[in-house]
Amino acid sequence: MNLQQRNMITSEEIYEDLCSKIENLDYMPGEAISENELCERYDTSRHMIRGAFAMLRQRRLLEVYPQRGSFVSLIDIKYISDIIYMRESIEQEALQLVIESGNVEETCDKMSANLEIQRNNIMDKYPNEDFFRLDREFHAYYLEAAGHGDIMNMMSDSYIHFRRWRNLELRSMPRMDELIKQHEIIIKNLRNKDRLAVRKSLHEHIDTIRLFNSVVEKTKNEYFYKR
């Protein structure tokens, strides 16, 4: 049963549903969101919608302007860059710890099995939710091997902003084959215990800010905060 079919819906459930829609670009950056429309969609009161809006504002996903309305927040590329910097720092350290731990072969075998499923999952030029789940598992294997399997959960509140940027980037520049190849290279360099090479390959995989200008050319500059 979906949320619209339920009689008793909470602000938290509306909030989670809107988070998913914003992340997956069902609502584009800068798009207006109508309280009245959502009241009808979820068959609920304005009070419930405003409760969900308050949580979205706290998470920097919604902006409310008096006399104008409520709008999905624009993408802050500087904020995304900071998130990517944190993620890369964590994962770079994890890969070095795996090399030191002696769990390289076991970890690479898990990553390779995951990668084979990724290859079989490519059905079109855009990643789907199954691919993103596999991608999360791929990276989780070496974080877990390094003893830090839960660390990404600590970044979950801010990480939705990265995922929104990732979805926009991959829609504008389909590159599934490139992602698969990058995963292959990471496994190869980790299996060889090549510290410098694995560091470089992870950087090339994670640092998607380098694609910003190309994304802007193919989408709309209005999706991003001006700085």
Q: What tens-digit pLDDT sequence spans the chain (227 residues)?
A: 455 455 578 999 999 999 999 999 999 999 999 999 999 999 999 999 999 999 999 999 999 998 899 999 999 999 999 999 999 999 999 999 999 998 999 999 999 999 999 988 776 667 788 888 999 999 999 999 999 988 888 887 889 999 999 999 998 888 888 999 999 999 999 999 999 999 999 999 999 999 999 888 888 789 999 86
**Torsion sign over Cα 73, 78, 84, 85:** negative
Q: Which tokens go with 108?
A: 């690479």
Residue intervals of the chain classified under CATH 1.10.10.10 are: 3-72
149 DSSP assignment: T
Return phi, psi of residue 92, to 5°. Answer: -60, -45
CATH class of this structure's domain 3-72 = mainly alpha
Give the span between the Cα atoms of 150 and 220, in whole angstroms. Answer: 36
Quickly tell me which residue has 């002696």 as its tokens.
102
pLDDT confidence of residue 155 = 80
Model pLDDT, residue 167: 92
Counting beta carbons within 10 angstroms of the beta carbon of residue 67, is it exposed (0 to 12), middle (13 to 18) or buried (19 or more)? exposed
3-state class of 190 per DSSP?
A: helix
Question: Which residues in the chain are classed under CATH 1.20.120.530?
Answer: 77-223
In what side-by-side order are the strands of the sheet with 32-33?
32-33, 69-72, 62-65
Residue 97 and residue 25: Cα distance in Å, rounded?
Answer: 36
Please give the DSSP secondary-structure letter assigned to residue 74.
P
How far apart are the C-alpha atoms of 176 and 201, rounded to whole Å? 16
Q: What is the pLDDT at residue 1?
A: 41
| Residues with Cβ within 8 Å of residue 172, at least 6 apart in sequence | 214, 215, 218, 219
Q: How far is CA 9 from the centre of its chain?
A: 26
CA–CA separation, 133 and 189 (whole Å):
23
pTM: 0.87
Distance CA 202, CA 186 (A): 6
Q: Which CATH number fits domain 77-223: 1.10.1370.40, 3.30.200.20, 2.120.10.30, 1.20.120.530?
A: 1.20.120.530
Q: Which helix (H) or strand (E) holds 33?
A: strand 32-33
Amino acid letter at 204?
Answer: E
What's residue 119's pLDDT?
87
- Nearest CA to 95 out of 133, 132, 144 is that of 144
